[in-house]
Amino acid sequence: MSIAARQGGWGNADVKDQLKSDKAGSGRALIVLRNVTKRFIGKVVLDDICLEIEKGKTTVVIGPSGCGKTVLLKHLVVLLRPTSGEIYFDGMRIDTLPESELSRIRTRFGFLFQGGALFDSLSVADNIIFPIRQHCVINDWSKVDDLVRTKLAMVGLNGFQDYYPSSLSGGQRKRVALARAIALDPELILYDEPTTGLDPINADIINELIIKLEKELGVTSVAVTHDMKSAYKIADRIIMLNGGRIIADGDADHIRGHPDPAIQQFINGRIGTDDLTALRSSGVDRNGRLTAGGWKK
Amino acid sequence: MIETLGIAALERVEASGRFARFFARVVSTSASSCGRRATYPLVWNQMNIIGVRSVPVIMITGAFVGMTLAIQAYDQLAGMGLEERLGVLINISVVKELGPVLAAVMLAGRIGGALTAELGTMNVTEQIDAIKSMGTDPVGYLVAPRVLACLLLTPVLIVYADFMGIVGGAFISIVQLSINSSPYWSFSASGIELWDVSVGVIKGFFFGAAIAVISCYKGFTCRQGAQGVGQACTEAFVASFISILALNFAMGVISKAVYNTLWQPKVLI
């Protein structure tokens, strides 16, 4: 497998060699994380993560709630900086760059936030224009209008230019947020829980959009989700995170057939036997006293 | 006990350090924003929200301050036969202390709370992260225009408060308390100098900057959830209020020292 995600040591020379080979086109890694660790007030959220994100592919990060998926995603665009370790984007180390330098690099990213993160005070059109207005000199507004129309048409919402986010449904908000994320034609799109909170049809629309963007625009995608149906549909590669570490890495078939019972339990959405016993034994006893049961989590 | 105190002290020092870094970033970003034409529409928009919409409430505050001072001080001065000098007392109190301070406190409640709530909500709904992820500096886009608008308009609003305080005081003194208007205005004019008005207006720059920076900082660092935003608003108001009082004291000391160095201390009565 050309994509490597390894725990543990990785020499600096290895990374350089890898990056050289990427330039040569064999590895094609767009992002490289080397021994990335993140701590929040004594709690280790990411633990010595080594990871490469391949160009032009969709990588999906799965894992239970609170395992560090979103934190990992925010590290890729350096919205969070690692406590230790290194992050490379297109061969350049970015985790040590000042914000002014990062701003320039971030124009090559698109980020779809879990709740959309649309600006309430701006219309749909103004939300999509926002990154264009910030980074481009606009001489001809008709071209910008055309661009907004094109981006909205890509997500199936042409005609919604004058709507405000408050008047859109959850699925529409996500689609507008996606249109905004692709406004600057990014090389890499990061999706944070793209289908969470959506009905199955809207979730599938988002899945199809992610696939469409990968095929039509050739963008690299990284999605964080615990929706396994979505993960299987969009992923070229699935990484499972647990306790801040990568515990599985491979394509959908590899994950489906993984021998680890914890992974099988997660992907099949089954409660563990111990937790089930604890759940059933907890409650109120015959004397009216509350019993804790003895949960594992 | 000692450990708890030590942890609390460390947390305070860390919080102070974070605020100092934010403040330094706001100063440098705001200064560089002044030269960028793209910032002007954002500042203009904030000036409308912060300044224009605050005019009525600031004028009402100023008027009541002047009227209350007239009512409270009249008996004391009338007892000494000095009621015609009531205007000096009212107007110098209004332009140097009460006008600026109460106008700033009113702004801290009206503007500071709104700034913290707006930015806090943007923070918890990841809108600030979205701005960052699109390659835009959120301090430059969100904070600098608000700070510049507050910095520029608080002194103007203080002038409005001063004006209405003077009018309110004169209205009660002349109409209600039947003080002769000619000596009232003539003593007022002789007792108040350009320096007194300037001190009050200069305070406005500091008060405006303090309100905006503290409120934006609290919004940027608020905790998740509705309770986090609510608590940040409360903290922003309390911190702004204390800062206004502390800055007022410091500027009172400094302005008095400067005045006494340049001119002789004046006797009003």
Q: How far apart are CA B14 and CA A138, in angstroms?
A: 43
Nearest to B134 among A115, A118, A134 (CB): A134
At B110, list the tokens: 């009206």
Predicted local distance difference test score (pLDDT) of residue A284: 67
Q: Are A15 and A86 in contact (CB under 8 A)?
A: yes
For residue A107, the chain B residues in CB contact (below 8 A) are 134-135
A103 reaches B (C-beta below 8 A): yes
C-alpha closest to that of B137 among B213, B220, B48, B252: B220
Handedness of CA B101, B103, B106, B107 (dihedral sign): negative
β-pairing, A29-40 with A109-112? Answer: unpaired
Q: How far is CA B11 from CA A83, B6, B66, B115, B182, in A?
A: 19, 9, 43, 25, 59
Q: How far is B141 from chain A (nearest CA, A)?
A: 10
Predicted local distance difference test score (pLDDT) of residue B268: 61
> Per-residue confidence at A290, pLDDT binned at 50, 70, 90?
low
Residues B126, A105: C-beta atoms closer than 8 Å = no
Q: How far is B137 from chain A (nearest CA, A)?
A: 7
Residues B135, A107: C-beta atoms closer than 8 Å = yes
Bin B157: left if φ > 0, else alpha if -120 < ψ < 50, else beta.
alpha
Residues B129, A119: C-beta atoms closer than 8 Å = no
In this prediction, residues B54-68 reach a mean pLDDT of: 92
Bin A10: left if φ > 0, else alpha if -120 < ψ < 50, else beta.
beta
Convert the pLDDT of each residue in A194-232 to its tens digit.
888 778 888 888 898 889 888 888 889 999 998 888 999
Convert the pLDDT of each residue in A57-87 to its tens digit.
899 999 888 888 999 999 999 999 999 999 9
Q: How far is B119 from chain A (nearest CA, A)?
A: 11
> Per-residue confidence at A52, pLDDT binned at 50, 70, 90?
very high
A138 reaches B (C-beta below 8 A): no
Q: Are B195 and B259 in contact (CB under 8 A)?
A: yes
Q: Which residue has the higher pLDDT, A5 or B238?
A: B238
Question: How many residues does the structure list for chain A?
Answer: 297
> Per-residue confidence at A292, pLDDT binned at 50, 70, 90?
low
Convert the pLDDT of each residue in B182-230 to its tens digit.
888 988 888 888 888 999 999 999 999 999 999 999 999 988 888 889 9
At B42, list the tokens: 């954002």
Please give the helix or strand (H or E) that residue A97 lies within, else none.
none
Residue of A nearest to B139 (CA): A99
| Of the candidate ranges A16-30, A124-138, A156-170, A259-273, the one whose mean pLDDT is the lowest | A16-30
Q: How far apart are CA A129 and CA A61, in angstroms?
A: 30
Give the mutation candidate from B124, B127, B134, B141 for the A interface (greatest A CB count, under 10 A): B134
Q: How far is B123 from chain A (nearest CA, A)?
A: 10
- 3-state DSSP call for residue B207? helix
DSSP one-letter code for B50 = H
Q: Is the pLDDT of residue A281 over 80?
A: no
Nearest to B127 among A104, A119, A135 (CB): A119
β-pairing, A220-224 with A237-242? Answer: unpaired
A193-230 burial string, b = 16+ CB within 10 Å, else e?
A: bbbbebeeebbebbbebbeebbeebebbbbbbbbbbeb
- CB within 8 Å of chain B, chain A residues 226-265: none
A113 reaches B (C-beta below 8 A): yes
CA A67 to chain centre: 13
Q: Which residue has the higher pLDDT, B133 or B1?
A: B133
DSSP one-letter code for B173 = I
Residues B129, A117: C-beta atoms closer than 8 Å = yes
In this prediction, residues B10-16 reach a mean pLDDT of: 89
Q: In what order do the strands lie in the sheet with A92-93?
A: A43-54, A29-40, A84-89, A92-93
Predicted local distance difference test score (pLDDT) of residue A206: 85
pTM of the shown model: 0.81
